[in-house]
Chain A
Amino acid sequence: MTVQVQAEAGWALEVDAFDVQRERVAEALTAVADGRVGISGAPLAAHPAARPGALVAGVYDGEDATTHLLPAPVALQLAYDLPAEPVVRRVLDLRGGVLHERETTTVGELSALRFACLARPGTVVVRAHCPDSAEHPGLRAPDGAVGVEVGATGPVEWMRVPASTGGVVTARRAAATTAAGGTVLDVVAAYAGDSERLPEPDEAVALVEQAWEAGVDALLAEQEQAWAARWDDADVAVEGDDHLQLATRLALFHLIGSTAGTGEAAVGARGITGHGYSGHVFWDADTFVLPFLAATHPAAARAILEYRVRRLPAALEAARELGREGARFPWESARTGRDVTPLTAYDRTGRLVDILTGPYEEHIVSEVAWATCTYLDWTGDEEFARGDGLHLLVETARWWASRIEVDADGSAHVRHVIGPDEYHEDVDDDAFTNVMARWNLRRAADAVRDQGADVALAEVQRWSELATALVDGYDPATGRHEQFRGFSDLEPLIIAEAAPRRPVAADVLMGHDRLQASQVLKQPDVLMLHHLVPDEVPPGSLAADLDHYEPRTAHGSSLSPGITAALLARAGRLGPALDALDITARIDLDDLTGSTAAGIHLATAGALWQALVMGFAGVRVTDDRLQVDPHVPPAWGALTVRLRWRGSRVRLRCTADDVQMTADPPVPVRVRGTAGTAHPDGLRPAIEEVP
C-alpha cells in the first residue's frame, strides 16, 4: 500500500499550504470522524500553530452552562517537528474517508494516511512512512487534564481521562517495520467513552486488539467499503459547478462522520470536528442535521432521536418546575438533558450581556416533534411510531397545551418567546413558534388516533381546539404573516438596502437596542415555517412572505443562507437562490464566520443538503408519497440525488427540464404534481398499488 496524495476531482479537499493563520481552519475542514470519535486534521509532525486533538461524541465534562466536550488523549502525533516555514500537503479523500498528508519535517520527508473507522466507530488508524526509525511518543494527555491514569496491557498502552461523570479511555498500539527508503509505522488507537461511568481500560484495549488483528491493510479496505456504502445512499452530484460539488461532498462527509448509527447521538453544533459551542446540542441537530440522516442513513437519525428520548424525563421535570405539563426540551443541552444555556456571556463589544435564549427560545420543543415526524415520514418505523416516537409527540403537545394562553375572546396565544430570529427578544405570538406549536398539537393528535394510544379523548380534543384557536399572524389582506405581534410597527428598516453588504451581523452593526426596535431579522422566522411545515401555511403565501421578509433578513446566522436558498429555489427564483447557496457552500470552506477553527458548522452542512434536495430538487414526503418538484438552474447539467425512503434506494436525476427517477423496491411518487411510481428502471406515470 502506498500513500496517495493525488486528489480525485470532486471527491477530495486539497490543502496545499501550511498557513499559520489558517492552520486551525484547515484542521477542522480535514478532521476525520466516525460518529464516535473525531480527530483534528493537524499534521502528524508538530508545529506551534497546529492543534492536534480528539473528541468523543457525547462525553462531557462539567455541569450546567460550563459543561463541555471532554478533550480526549491525542494518539496520533509523531516524534517529528515541522520547520519554521513548513511544507505540508493534505488531501482529504472524501470518497474513502481517508486523510493523506505529505510533509517535510526537520529530519526528512514524512507521508501518511489516517482514518477514523466508519465500520468500527471509535477506532482510528495511521500508516506513516517515516524518514527514520525514531521512537515515537505514545498517548498524550489533553492540556489541563486532571486525574489521568496510564497503563499497558501487553503491547497496548492506555490512558484514562475522567470527566465530572464518566470519561474516556484511549488505547494505542504501534509497530514499525523497515522498508525501502525508511520506516513504515502503523498506529491503531481506540476511544471508549461514556458520559455516565468511567470506562474500563479493557474496553478500549479490546477494540485496539481487534483492529490490530485485522491489520491496517484490511482496515483501510473496510473503511473504503463502508464509505462507499454510505455514499451510495447519500451522494448529491451537481454537474457544472465544481466548487459547489466539492463543498457539498465535504458537507455530507462531515454530516456522515458526526453521528454513529447506534445508541444515542448527542450532536453538538460543531459535531466532533471541534470544541466550539462546547459540544452543546441545539435545534441544529433536530432541524438541520437529522433530515439528511433520515433520508440517507436512518439508524443515525434514530440515534439523534434516542438522545431526545433518553432526556425526556429531564424535559418532563423541567416543565413541572415551570408549573406546566408535558416536556420542555431545553435550548441547549448536553449530558443530562437539563438546560445548559449560559445565562450571561461577553459579547463582541466586551460587555457582559444576559443570554435569554434559554428561558425564551421554546420553539425547540416543536422541533423535537418535527424531527420525530421527519424520521417517521422517511422511514415508516412503526415500532418507533408506536413507542418512543409517540411519547415525544404526546409530551411535546402537552407542553404546548399547558403553555398556550386562551383569551376571553377565545383566541389562543404564546407570549414571551424568542423565535428563530433571535434579534427580537421576549415577543408575543411569534408566528413561527405558534404555527409550529399548532402543527405539533395536530400531529400529536393524529398520532394518538393512528396508534390508538392511551390518551384521553378529551385531551386530544383540547389539543385540536387549541390548535385551531392559536393566532398565526397571517393577514389575508396582505397575503403574508406578521412575524410577531407588533412587528409591523417597528422601524421599517430594510437591511438589504441599509447595510453595506449581506450577510451581516446586524447586532454588531446596529447594536442590541436599535435592532429590537427595527424590522431587521437575523434569519428566517416566518420563512422557516414555509421550509419546515409548508402545509401549515396558506397556499400561495410563500411568495408574499419571501418578498417581505427576505430583504429584511441580515442573514447574520450561518443557518440562514441555506434555508433561504431552499425557499428561493422552491419559489423558482433561481438567481438569488444560487447566490444564497454559494454563501452556504463557502461558510466553512472560506471561514466566513471566522470561527470554523472551532469546528465545522454542522447545521450549515445540513442546510446545504436541504437547499439542494428540498429546495432545488424539491423533494418532500407528503401523504406517504415521495414528492419531487425540481427547480434546477440551466447552468447545472444535472442535479443527482441519492436517498433511502422506507427501505427503498431512490435515485433522482433532475435537469432544468427533465426528471428521471428510480427506486428499488418501487415507491409511490408525485413528480411535478403527477402521481406515479418509481421503479428500478424508471418512472411510470400511472398510479400503481405498491406493496
Chain B
Amino acid sequence: MSTVLAAVDDSLCAGPVLAAARAFAPLLGSEVHALHVGQDAGATAREHARRVGVPFRQVGGDPLEVLAERAGSGVTAVVVGARDRASAAAAGHLPLALADRVPCPVLVVPPDWPPKERFERVLIALEGRPGRARPLRHAVDVVAGADLDLTVVHVEGEQDVPAFSDAPAHEMAAFAQEYLARAWPKAPPLRLALPVGSPADEVLALARDLQPDVLVAGWPQGAGPAHGHVVRELLRRAPCPVLLVAVE
C-alpha cells in the first residue's frame, strides 16, 4: 500500500502533522507512516504516533536529505510542520526545500491548526488559469473523487474585470460553467472564485471566509528564490494546512 510520510519531531507541530496526515491519507488511498529524523529523544513524536496507532520510525541525518530520499516510489505525500510562522524568512524553509526536490505533494501544517479527522472543504489557488495548471488539476481530480466541497480561486488583475455582471443570483453560475467548460472541460463539480486584487491577500481572505480544511497551491520546482513569493505568503499566513503541488 502507498504511504503518506508524516515528518514528526518533538515540536508543537507533531500532533497537527499526524492529524493532517491521517485526514489526508484516505483521499490518496494511502496509510500513514511517521518518521522522526534526528538524534534527540523523539519522545513527543513517538508518543503522538503511538496514541493514534501510526507506525513510527526514527532515523538520524539531515531532515531534508532523509525526507527527500524517502519520498520516492510508493510515497504519495509528505506531511511536515511549519515550525515558525511568525517570521516570514523562516516560514516554510524545510517544506519549500522539500517541495523543490520531491515528486509528490508536500502538505505543510501550521502548529496552531486545530486537528480535524477528515478533510471536507478544499480551496485550490491557481496561479495560472485552470487549463494550464495541469499538476493542480491532478490534485483536484484526487480530491474530487472523495466528494469534497471544492472551491477553485484564481485571482485576476484589473484588466480581467468583466464588462458585465448582471444578476448576482445567477450570473456567476452561468459564467463559471462556461469558464470551466473552456478552461477545464472535465472539471469535477466545484465552485469558481475570481476575485480581483493581490493574489496572496485575496486567497487568504477567501480562506478566512471559507475556512477550508486544506489550501492547495502550486509550487514552481527549481525556480529559485525569486519565485514563489505568493506561496511563501500563503505558508506564512494560511489558517489551515497548505498542500504544495509541483508546477512547471
Contact of A587 among B164, B195, B209 (CB under 8 A): B164
CB within 8 Å of A: which of B129-187? Answer: 151, 153, 158-159, 161-175, 177-179, 181-182, 185
Point out the residues of chain A lying under 8 angstroms from B161, CB to CB: 500, 504-505, 508-509
Chain A, residue nearest B209 (CB): A351
Q: Helix, strand, loop or mixed for chain A's interface? A: loop
Q: Is A473 an interface residue (CB 8 A)?
A: no
The answer to whether A349 touches B169 (Cβ under 8 A) is no
The answer to whether A351 touches B196 (Cβ under 8 A) is no
The residue among B151, B175, B185 with the most chain A CB atoms within 10 A of its own CB is B175
Chain B, residue nearest A505 (CB): B165
CB within 8 Å of B: which of A485-517? Answer: 500-501, 503-505, 507-509
The answer to whether B210 touches A594 (Cβ under 8 A) is no
B contact residues, range: 35 or more
> What mask results when residues 349 to 367 of chain A are scored 1 for a CB within 8 Å of chain B, else 0?
1110101010000000000
The answer to whether A350 touches B195 (Cβ under 8 A) is yes
Q: Is A196 an interface residue (CB 8 A)?
A: no
The answer to whether A24 touches B163 (Cβ under 8 A) is no
Given contacts A351-B206, A594-B178, A597-B178, contact A556 B170 (CB under 8 A): no
A-B contact count (CB 8 A): 125
Q: Is A677 an interface residue (CB 8 A)?
A: no
Give chain B nearest CB distance to A33 CB in angstroms.
19
Chain B, residue nearest A591 (CB): B178
Give the contact stretch, choosing among A6-14, A338-346, A383-391: A338-346
The answer to whether B193 touches A350 (Cβ under 8 A) is yes
Give chain B nearest CB distance to A168 CB in angstroms.
22
Point out the residues of chain B lying under 8 angstroms from A500, CB to CB: 158-159, 161
Bound-complex Cα distance A78 to B169 (A): 36
Given contacts A341-B169, A350-B151, contact A556 B178 (CB under 8 A): no
Point out the residues of chain B lying under 8 angstroms from A595, CB to CB: 171, 174-175, 178
Point out the residues of chain A lying under 8 angstroms from B162, CB to CB: 348, 504-505, 508, 593-594
Chain B, residue nearest A28 (CB): B178
CB within 8 Å of B: which of A537-564? Answer: 555-559
Point out the residues of chain A lying under 8 angstroms from B202, CB to CB: 349
Q: Is A276 an interface residue (CB 8 A)?
A: yes
Point out the residues of chain A lying under 8 angstroms from B159, CB to CB: 500
Point out the residues of chain A lying under 8 angstroms from B185, CB to CB: 20, 48-49
Q: Is A282 an interface residue (CB 8 A)?
A: yes
Q: Is A478 an interface residue (CB 8 A)?
A: no
The answer to whether A509 touches B196 (Cβ under 8 A) is yes
Point out the residues of chain B lying under 8 angstroms from A592, CB to CB: 163-164
Give chain B nearest CB distance to A41 CB in angstroms.
15
The answer to whether B158 touches A24 (Cβ under 8 A) is no
Bound-complex Cα distance A393 to B82 (A): 68
Given contacts A48-B185, A594-B178, contact A507 B209 (CB under 8 A): no
Point out the residues of chain B lying under 8 angstroms from A593, CB to CB: 162-164, 166, 171, 175
Bound-complex Cα distance A557 to B210 (A): 28
Given contacts A342-B169, A348-B172, contact A597 B164 (CB under 8 A): no
Contact of B165 among A48, A342, A556 (CB under 8 A): A556
Bound-complex Cα distance A346 to B196 (A): 15
Q: Is B23 an interface residue (CB 8 A)?
A: no
Q: Is A278 an interface residue (CB 8 A)?
A: yes
Given contacts A24-B178, A276-B174, A598-B177, contact A355 B164 (CB under 8 A): no
Q: Is A277 an interface residue (CB 8 A)?
A: yes
Chain B, residue nearest A597 (CB): B178
The residue among B164, B168, B177, B206 with the most chain A CB atoms within 10 A of its own CB is B164
Q: Is A21 an interface residue (CB 8 A)?
A: yes
The answer to whether A345 touches B169 (Cβ under 8 A) is yes
The answer to whether B163 touches A503 (Cβ under 8 A) is yes
Give chain A nearest CB distance to B188 CB in angstroms.
15
Additional A-B contacts beyond A349-B193, A505-B164 (7; CB < 8 A):
A348-B162, A348-B195, A350-B193, A556-B163, A557-B164, A559-B166, A594-B175
| Chain B residues within 8 Å of A, Cβ to Cβ | 151, 153, 158-159, 161-175, 177-179, 181-182, 185, 191-196, 202, 206, 209-210
Instruction: Write 18 A-B pairs (CB below 8 A) sorted by A numbering.
Output: A21-B182, A48-B185, A49-B181, A269-B167, A348-B165, A350-B191, A350-B194, A504-B161, A505-B164, A505-B165, A508-B196, A593-B163, A593-B164, A593-B166, A594-B175, A595-B171, A597-B181, A598-B174
